[in-house]
Each structure stands twice: as structure tokens, then as C-alpha cells.
Amino acid sequence: ERLATPAVRALRAYDPGHDLVALRARFAPAALVELGANENAYGPSPAARAAVLDVLNTLHRYPDPTGAALKARIARAQELDPAGVVLGNGSHELLMLIAQAFATPGTEVVASRYGFAVYALAAQAVGATLRLADALPPAHAMPLGHDLDALAAAVGPMTRIVYLANPNNPTGTWFPRAALERFLGRVPGEVLVVVDEAYAEFVDDPAAGSAVPLLAAHPNLVVTRTFSKAYALAGLRVGYALAHPQLAAVLERLRESFNVNSAAQAAALAALDDDAHLAWVVERNAEERAALAAALSARGLRVLPSQTNFLLVDFGRDTAALEPRLVAQGVVVRPVGGYGLPHCLRISVGTRDENRRLLAVLDGVLA
């Protein structure tokens, strides 16, 4: 401990919320409703599963260290140069690498108050100072969402990186591309703007819009994506960053040579070829999300708007006593007290059956 760098000594390990291994041992699979990690309730493309089985014959080989085939496929889908694609062991790794490459002790990293927790971790890991911008107020049409004016105002001479999520976790909120464009116009070109689009495939508000079309005009912009959410490959750990090729080359120097394993590369490639499965997942999720939001609202709970596969639910009172009672009955949701939202729980959208079970257990607990 004493020999670690000051930045690392100040770090706390990531808190996954629950001991899922213990819970899986305690409950029969059908009795456990896991809605705590924003995983995809519908599963990956059958083609992705088949691709993983094929890889079993070549497990003694290292993966392609360049990930060339997957990068080319991603580049084709996004209409970008493959040299502007970086693969990561989940997008989490890429968010950390960006901090490693661009921030040092004494510099600042800017994020929104309820921004995804990894941004703070990334800043702290390299000893940079985290500066949090106020979020939009609870009464705003996009409650607790990113306030891009406040974020721009928080950028100072020592700022090296701004992390934004669109949509954001744990709030589920989003911002229009036009607002991002204005933001990019206000932020100096030396500041890296990282737009985390982990949930982009779920977005159906046409105004929201991905940041990808802005990459060509903004060499300081990085967009991160993942196969963990809409593509349902969380267990394989694969994500990617899109950026100007020179910026991508910097991250390429830092990443571990074989950071994306062979099963992950094969599955991601197959998943990208199965548009029909993705469309089906996104449609099912939107339907269940609307139904679950309506059912929770009907119980007098405040549900924040969401363009993701989860809902932030405001119970109007501290949820610290309530949440363990859900877990005791096999319903796992995510406490967000660590985000300063002790009166809220984050609930992933499950299958119709899972959502029904959640509501039944919740009714018992709220009674």
C-alpha cells in the first residue's frame, strides 16, 4: 500500500453492488431476477454464439493482435477509416486508457455530477483532479442529465479531458447532437471530448443523434461504444473507440497487445452482421421499457426518461432499507447511493416475465 503512487493509494476498488456469485448459489436460476447491471435480457445473436463455438478449435492460438477484421467491419458500419478505430477489453478499458494517455497529476478531468462512475476512477487512477459540473435540476425535462453549458463552464486552462455519456448511466438521460456541436465549438481544441455511447443502439429519439458524424470536423473528439449492451456480449468484454487516426494511434501504443480475446473478436464480428437480431432486441427493449416505466409510475414512483435498457426510479425516500428486501426475494437492482442518489434505484429492463416478477416483489415490499 505505502509503495503505491499517491493517486493509486487514494483509489477505492470498483464496487459491483452485489455478490452475484453468492446470490446465484443461493437462488435457483429461475428464482433470481438480475436487473442490476444493465445487461441485455434478450441475449446475443445466435450467429455470435456460433462464432464463439468455432473459436474453441483455436484456443491455443493468440488472438489477432491488430483486430484487423473487426476494425474493418466497424469502420464500414460507421463509414470511417479503420485507422480511427481502437478496440478495447470492454469500453471501460478505453475510458481508462484515454486518461492514461492525456491526463497527469496537476491536470483536470471534467465530468457531470451524475456521470458514469468510471470517469472519476479514470481521473483518479492517473492522479488528475476531477472537476464535476452541476447536472440539470430534478425539475428539468431531462432531470439530472448533463448540463452542457455547465460542463463548458467547468473547462479551464488545466482541463485535458471532458467525459460525457449519451445516454448516461445511471440517469438514462440524453442530449441532442446540436447541443454537443455547440459544446465542441466552445471547448478549446486541446481538450479531449470523450462521448461515451455505450447505449447508443437503444436510442430512438431522432434528436439525440450519435456524435460519430462530428468526428470528421473535430480531431479532439473520441466516441466510445460497446458490445456489452445492445449486442448482449458483456461476458466477452469488447468495446471500441472512434477518433481521428492520430489520436487512435496514441491509444494503440498504450493498449496491451492482445487486449481483445479471440472469442470476443469473432462474436463481435458476427453480431455486426446480424442487423435483424439487433433490431429485434432494440424493439423488444423499447416496448418493455415503456411498459415497465408505466407500471412503476402507476405505483406512484417517479421514473426518469430513458433511452437505454434501464430506468432510474425515484422512490421519494431513502432506498437503503428497501433494496435488501428486494434482494432477499431474488430481485437484484442497483443502489445508486454512491452517485449521491440514495432515494433512487437503477433498474435494468428485463424480459416481460422478469419485469412482472420485479413488480410483484416490489408491491410486497412497498405495501
**CB of residue 238 vs ligand PMP: minimum separation in angstroms?**
7
The cell for 220 is: 479532439
- CB nearer to ligand PMP: give 7 or 234: 234
Q: Rounded CA gap, 240 and 229, in Å? A: 13
Print burial letters for 24-41: b (CB count within 10 Å at least 16), e (below 16): eeebeeeebbbbbbbbbb
**CB of residue 233 vs ligand PMP: minimum separation in angstroms?**
9
State the amino acid at position 318 in one-letter form: D
**CB of residue 258 vs ligand PMP: minimum separation in angstroms?**
17
**CB of residue 239 vs ligand PMP: minimum separation in angstroms?**
4
Q: Where are the beta strands (DSSP E) in 155-191?
A: 159-165
- CB nearer to ligand PMP: give 239 or 330: 239
Residue 203: CB atoms within 10 Å: 20
- CB nearer to ligand PMP: give 40 or 228: 228
Position closest to ligand PMP via CB:
90
- CB nearer to ligand PMP: give 241 or 361: 241
Sheet holding 129-133, edge to edge: 85-88, 239-243, 221-226, 192-196, 159-165, 108-112, 129-133
- CB nearer to ligand PMP: give 94 or 296: 94
CA 165 → CA 85, 103, 271, 334, distances in Å? Answer: 19, 19, 23, 19
- CB nearer to ligand PMP: give 173 or 228: 228
CA 66 → CA 147, 252, 353, distances in Å? Answer: 38, 9, 41
The DSSP code sequence of 252-272 is HHHS-TT-S-HHHHHHHHHHH
- CB nearer to ligand PMP: give 226 or 265: 226
- CB nearer to ligand PMP: give 170 or 330: 170
**CB of residue 195 vs ligand PMP: minimum separation in angstroms?**
10
Residues that bind ligand PMP (CB under 6 A): 38, 90-92, 116, 165, 169, 196, 198, 226, 228, 234, 239
**CB of residue 165 vs ligand PMP: minimum separation in angstroms?**
4
Q: Rounded CA gap, 109 and 361, in Å? A: 41
Q: Which of 262, 210, 222, 215 is nearest to 238 (CA)?
A: 262
**CB of residue 321 vs ligand PMP: minimum separation in angstroms?**
26
CA distance from start to end of the chain: 47
Radius of gyration for the alpha carbons in the chain, expressed in angstroms and rounded: 20
Which residue, chain included where needed, has cell 483536470? 108
**CB of residue 308 vs ligand PMP: minimum separation in angstroms?**
8
